[in-house]
């Protein structure tokens, strides 16, 4: 299978995920600012979830700039990532419906943690397909950002039982780590021998 077909499918799934999330946003029941402000937590959780999905889309794009042949391992690793991303609208909706209760806050983190793990698995599958002289391995190095993401999500899951505000703050911090553009792959391609 060509990379372009896999990228097109992934882009379509991610577009649907974002569409589902935005459809969960309901208009306020009143016509004043208080009615709008009452929806602030729902809107902010949407923004955070949208940000996470966008971060994965950006990084997925960067992964597929590297040259390699798509094999079955990569197809399944990509499908695995898309599965966990597809749960983000559900966990976001539950988080909102339960008014940020501890269990839904933790489950939201599980969906983020599993997506982070799935991304690392996809990255490893691509490195495996490239072989010993993998461009991607050289570009990502020890992947500190990926490891920080996993540790942060795991911490936030635990913190949900202590104080959901701490948990949510960690989810935001992990996203902010990825807002700083990650140019490792582009730099790796420029420095290609």
Task: Tally the domains of the chain.
Answer: 1
pLDDT over threshold 60, residue 193: no
Contact 116, 145 (CB under 8 A): no
**pLDDT, tens digit (0-9, with 9 covering 90-100), for 93-132:** 999 999 999 999 999 999 999 999 999 999 999 999 998 8
Which residues span the domain enclosing 7?
3-190
Helix (H, G, I), strand (E, B) or coil at 151: helix
3-state helix, strand, coil split of the chain in percent (to 5) is 80, 0, 20
**pLDDT of 111:** 98
Query: What's phi and psi for 77, nearest 5 deg?
Result: -65, -40
Question: End-to-end distance of the chain based on CA atoms, in angstroms?
Answer: 27
- Token pair for 147: 């490891």
Give CA–CA dist 185/192, Å, rounded.
Answer: 10
**pLDDT of 63:** 87
């Amino acid at each position: 299978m060509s990379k372009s077909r896999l990228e097109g499918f992934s882009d379509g799934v991610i577009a649907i995920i974002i569409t589902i999330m935005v459809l969960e946003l309901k208009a306020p029941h009143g016509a004043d600012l208080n009615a709008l402000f009452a929806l602030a937590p729902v809107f902010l959780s949407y923004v955070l979830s949208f940000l996470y999905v966008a971060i994965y889309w950006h990084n997925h794009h960067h992964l597929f700039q590297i040259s390699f042949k798509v094999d079955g391992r990569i197809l399944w690793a990509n499908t695995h990532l898309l599965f966990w991303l597809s749960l983000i609208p559900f966990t976001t909706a539950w988080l909102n419906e339960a008014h940020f209760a501890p269990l839904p806050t933790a489950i939201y983190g599980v969906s983020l943690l599993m997506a982070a793990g799935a991304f690392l698995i996809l990255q490893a599958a691509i490195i495996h397909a490239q072989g010993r002289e993998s461009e991607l391995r050289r570009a990502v190095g020890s992947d500190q950002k990926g490891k920080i993401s996993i540790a942060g999500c795991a911490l936030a899951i635990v913190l949900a039982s202590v104080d959901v505000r701490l948990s949510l703050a960690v989810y935001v911090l992990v996203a902010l780590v990825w807002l700083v553009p990650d140019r490792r792959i582009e730099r790796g391609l420029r420095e290609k021998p």
